[in-house]
Amino acid sequence: MSRVRSTTTSAPARPRTPARAAPAVARRDEWVPMWVVRIAVVAVFLALVEAAVRVGVLNPFFIPLPSDVLGRMVANLADAELLRMLGITLAETMTAFAIAASTGILLGFALWRSRVLGEAFEPLVAALFSSPIVLLYPIFLVIFGRNAAAIVALAAIFAVLPTILFTKQALSGVSRTLLNVGRTHNLSDWSIFRHIMLPAAAPTIFTGLRIALTYVLIVVVAMEYILQIGGLGRVVAESALLFRAVDLYASVGLIVVISAGFIWAINRVERLAQR
Amino acid sequence: MRKGTRPVALLAAAAALVACAPGGGGDPAAEGAMRVNIAFSNPTIFTTGLPYYVAQAKGFYDEAGIDVSATFTGGGSETVQAVVSGSADIGTETSGASAIGAFDSGAPIKIISASTTGLDLQWFAVAGSGIDDRTDLAGKTMGYSATGASSHVGVLALSALLEQEGLAPIQAEAIGGPPDNLTAAQTNQIAAGWTQPPFFLDRVASGELVLVADGSEIGDYADVAMRVNIGNVAWLEQNPEAARAFLEVQQRSWDWIFDNNEEAVQIWREAAELELTEEVLLTSFDYYDRSELRLAPLDGRDVLVDDAVEFGFADESLTDAEMEQLFDDSYLPEAS
């Protein structure tokens, strides 16, 4: 108790106190790793649902047994048609994200470099970002046809907006002091960008990319669902319309796994970029 | 304690207000009437919207003591979903195949009558698109309304027919109703779309569109109830009189429509806000006769089940006991 009080009231003790407190926190984390907690929460929830369905509290027509759903998800891994659908969704998502990320970072950089462009277009991009652009899908169907190109284009346009905004904000937020230090050491523009700006801006840029990736996956799956063309969204739509609850939940579960996988991957890339 | 009782008191007050509020839009004529929520697709179409509009306009529902409100769906399985979820008590003009598929998956529904016997669909293409008859559709993309709809079954049956003839199968796409199909065909999203008479026949007459296939040339559906009326099992058990009254009005409306063509068309045009002339709308009676829109007998049950299995709506055929459970004639009007 007295130690805690002293750390909060005594300013000089501040540098030493976190060093003391950190091992205690780390020990607690090590005792129960976070991934175990996450899995345990999901497992307990699924066990409760399983019990509720088995005792008749939940109607299996609407909520199937989680054990059946998990079994179907495993079985789907050997289903060539479902894997083809998965491939379509992944290809559409990766393509749209690649377009959104590359274009968004370039445009965000341009808005940061040119004050006129930045002041002129940033509010417009922000306004578009909060608009339901996805409702324009009939126009995309007319322009691109009823195919994957329309889905990719719509998803890319939707996801490019947060990438532009976050890139511009990230670069604008780099500390001038850091830049001055670089110039004092006679670093080239490229070195300043690579060793100072990129690491400083990376966390915010990657926040934008995470949002963009999430939007891409949502738009791709939603459009596949609405249009009933393409990959997993179509599988979800058909499962729902044919009242195949196990297939429906297994497909949705697969999409959740993909989403989690994408976020994990982008976090890994972020760590690499910050080295 | 006082803190805990306040929300309860507010909820009770809200419940009392709801209980005192007039129901069904506050129509005095409907007070004390049995409520029936129905769901159907494409409300502008002859077979779906017209009997509802006529029953409303002529007061048939009021006379039967039922207060009917309608929800519009995308068709097929969407209508079945509305009934399964309890959003609608009765689904009208939905395809037999989608109802059988849902029942096979455990959906609590019953087929309570026929709705349209025969396949009354037509498929069109844009003139000059290179699609002039059904063989040109091989390997092409065709539109239908929604998964499990009769237009979906029709495209799948047409595709199977082409495959039997050694041609490439059709790629079926869920597009929506006839106007959506027209837009999709005009913008090259699909090669051909579906319609029901008399819609787009004026465009066919003007040479803008060509009819490339007709339901009558696909399979042997002339004596099959391709579209049926379905009910939610729990609601049917609790409201058998309301279900009977509804079907009675449905039959009465069709009888009145065929006895009063011109007035029926006027009601249809106004209620559905159609731009087609009454003259064009009257041609509907060249394509439909009274027997095709009968509620009973419900013919072709085995064909419906076979199609549901063949086209992937149901996993396996139904047993006799399941057929008896699904098809329930007990709500039909006595004269049917």
Rounded Cα distance, B172 and B144, in Å:
7
For residue B135, name the pLDDT band (cuts at 50, 70, 90).
very high
Nearest CA in chain A to B100: A242
Closest CA to B262 of B245, B274, B276, B279: B279
A vs B: CB pairs below 8 A: 54
HSE-CB of A194 using CA atoms within 13 angstroms: 5
HSE-CB of A104 using CA atoms within 13 angstroms: 33
B80 vs A contacts (CB less than 8 Å)? 243
Rounded Cα distance, A186 and A189, in Å:
9
Rounded Cα distance, B218 and B221, in Å:
7
Rounded Cα distance, A42 and B221, in Å:
50
Residue of B95, B104, B105 to mutate, testing the A interface (most A Cβ within 10 Å of its Cβ)? B105
Please tell me which of the candidates A61, A228, A240 has its beta carbon nearest to residue B174. A228
Rounded Cα distance, B271 and A192, in Å:
70
ipTM of this complex: 0.74
B187 vs A contacts (CB less than 8 Å)? 141-142
**Reported pTM:** 0.79
Cβ-defined contact of A241 to B76 (cutoff 8 Å): yes
Respond yes or no on whether the N-terminal peptide bond of residue B198 is cis (omega within 30° of 0): yes
Least confident of A174-178, B65-69, B259-263, B332-336: B332-336
Rounded Cα distance, B334 and B336, in Å:
6
**Angle in degrees, CA B327, B331, B335, rounded to 5:** 110
B311 vs A contacts (CB less than 8 Å)? none
Cβ-defined contact of B147 to A243 (cutoff 8 Å): no
Cβ-defined contact of B106 to A229 (cutoff 8 Å): no
Please tell me which of the candidates B81, B147, B189 has its beta carbon nearest to residue A238. B147
Q: Are A163 and A209 in contact (CB under 8 A)?
A: yes
Rounded Cα distance, B98 and B172, in Å:
16
The per-residue pLDDT string of chain A (275 residues; one tens digit each, 9 = 90 and over) reads 333 333 333 333 443 444 444 444 555 556 788 889 989 999 999 999 999 999 999 988 889 999 999 999 999 888 999 999 999 999 999 999 999 999 999 999 999 999 999 999 999 999 998 888 888 999 999 999 999 999 999 999 999 999 999 999 999 999 999 999 999 999 998 899 888 998 899 999 999 999 999 999 999 999 999 998 889 999 999 999 889 999 999 999 999 999 999 989 988 888 887 66
Residue of A241, A248, A249 to mutate, testing the B interface (most B Cβ within 10 Å of its Cβ)? A241
